Each structure stands twice: as C-alpha cells, then as structure tokens.
Amino acid sequence: MKKILKAVDFFCGGGGMSYGMQQAGVKVLAGIDYEAKCKATFEANINGAQFIQADVFELDEYVLKQQLNLQQNDNNLILIGCSPCQYWSVINTDKNKSKKSKNLLKEFHRFVKFFNPGYVVVENVPGVLRKKSESGLEEFISWLESNSYVVHFDVHNVSDYGVPQSRKRFTLIANRVTRLEIRPEPTKGEKIRVIDVLGENNGFKKISPGHKDSSDFNHTVAGLSEKNLQRLKLVSKNGGTRQGFANNPELQLSCFVGKDNMFKDTYGRLWWDKPSPTITTKFFSISNGRFTHPEEDRALSIREGAILQSFPKSYIFKTESIADTARLIGNAVPPKYAEKIGSAIIKNH
C-alpha cells in the first residue's frame, strides 16, 4: 500500500504553503500559528486540517504528538517551518517589533529534533542565509547533516516556478529517506507575466478606487485621496514612475524633493509584460511600492494581489479588513511554489 505523506505546517498563516502541499498530494494534518486571524481562512481552504492556535515558544512537543497522533522517526512525516521573517528582511522594518521572531527557527529546530521526520522544509527571506550564525540556520543545517539528512538550501526566485512575481526566497529541503538532494523543479518555458493573469481578459473588470466587492472573489480596492488620484493620472501607463508628477509643485511630495533616484517604485505602476515585483503586506497601498495597476488609476485589488502570489481565484479569504487580508496574502508562501516543493518531495519518496 502506498504510504501517504503528511505534513504539519508551523507558522502556517493563511495557508499558502499548506494549500500548495495539498495540491501536490500531501495530506496536511495541521497548521500552527499564533495569530487567531489566520484560523478562518486556513480552515476554509485546507481540507481536513486542524488549525492550532499556539505560541511556538510555549508549545510542548509531547502535547503536539498526542494532539495529532504523530509518531517519532516517521519517514512519511514532513515538518514545515516558514517563520515570520521581518527581523531578517532587508526591507527597513522596525526590528524591535519583530525581535521575538528572530528565534523562531531555533524553536522549530526543537520540534525537528524531537520528531526526527522523514522530511523538513524551511522557507524564509534570503536574510536568514546572510546571517546564518545569528539566525540559528548554521546550527540547524549542521544538526540535520550530522543526523543523516541530505540538505538542499539555496535562494530561489519564485518567478522560475510558475509564480507571476519576482520574489527571492531562501528554501531548505532536508531528506533522510533517500540519499538524494531534493530541489524544486523550475517551470519550463517563459515566465508568467502580469498580462497573463490580470486585466479584463482574465476576469478582472475595470474598477475605481474605493470599489468594494462583497463576494468571495474580493476584487476590492483601497480608496484614494483626490490628490493621489491626480498624481496617478500623471504616472504613465505600463511601468511608469512618480517622475510623471515630480515637476508639479502642487503634487510633488516634499519627502521626494531632490530624491528622484530614491524609492523609485513608490507610486509606480506594474509592467504588463513582466512578473510583478514582490507582493508585500502593503500591496493595497500605492505609496508602499510599485503597486499601481498597469493602466487603471488605482492600487491593486485584494484578489489581484492574491493572484500575483499564485493563489487560485477560488481561494476564500475570511478576514475583517483590507489590511488583514493583504497581510495574509503578502506573508504567504506562494502556493504554486509550495506545490513545486511538495511535488519534488513526493517524487523522491
């Protein structure tokens, strides 16, 4: 009888990694996350999986073993740890706020030691590799290798794996079931571009700033002030930048005066014929990056951001606000990329 691979997804968020694994054919037993706001979305999309709301610093290995009826030394078990990564990000975030998250990999290591699963997956920002000693990654890899795991780790751009977005991610796949190094297989052919997934031809009707979509499709977009609307009218279509209004004293922002070569993506439009830039948790805001629609004078809608992260149109987001949904989407592992990781593990198994 064919043994089914099963996974426990630590720091699962809204379920991007779990969904991709599920699509590949892995049975997801549970998602664990500290954030209660993830629960409804995770449960709506990950079939038959439990959502465990827990602080991993306080979660006991024996309790988890009992709760999920897990076995130690199980070749069919995958432990996944995609911990929140703001502390190691190159993006200028408040490191004090995210200080606790810097030790999450070390906590995940505790569960890997205890369960000794057949497979281990870690996905994070490239910064954990640059600071591998401080982040606990060096110690983690060393432990895996000395405990009979074959370890693949590298920085991959998800645009090479069927995701319509340029997003570099550190990925580790460890395997003690065979002596082979497992790596996700890139998608053959051209990269998927914005024009391949967005626009009227792909079911996205034209909308105005502030449009609310109460259906599960969630083609909802943030509003804009009159001044920001005037600014966007001057940003040229298909990849334009804020240079379009830089010489207009009424519209130029004081923080950008004399800084035309800095933060060029702010207020910028996506290109139709390229993958999108990295979708962050603030993709609904034109002042937080290159998140303006290639043609329409508005930011990306919630569903457009999800599609650029490779969530399917059928994925249901159960949240209270635009900001909450965007956070789940921006923090997610792109499901198409997760599916490639899952497929590579299944092929090895």
- The full length of the chain comes to 349
Looking at the DSSP assignment, which residues form a beta bridge with residue 332?
none
Side-chain half-sphere CA neighbours of 200 within 13 A: 5
Give the residue among 30, 31, 37, 19 at the shortest CA–CA distance from 310.
19
* Apex 179 CA angle, 73 and 120, nearest 5: 45
Q: What is the rounded CA–CA span in Å between residue 310 and residue 325?
A: 15
> Is the CB of residue 128 less than 8 Å from the CB of residue 159?
no
Looking at the DSSP assignment, which residues form a beta bridge with residue 123?
171
Q: Is 12 a catalytic residue?
A: no
Q: What is the rounded CA–CA span in Å between residue 31 and residue 242?
A: 41
Structure token digits, residue 110: 């505790």
Active-site residue (options: 12, 38, 82, 85)? 85
Structure token digits, residue 255: 């923080």
Q: At what angle do helices 335-348 and 16-24 cross, to 10 degrees?
A: 40
DSSP letters, 163-214, are -SB--EEEEEEEESSSSSPP-PPPPSSSPP-HHHHSSGGGT-----TT----
- Kindly list the catalytic residues: 85
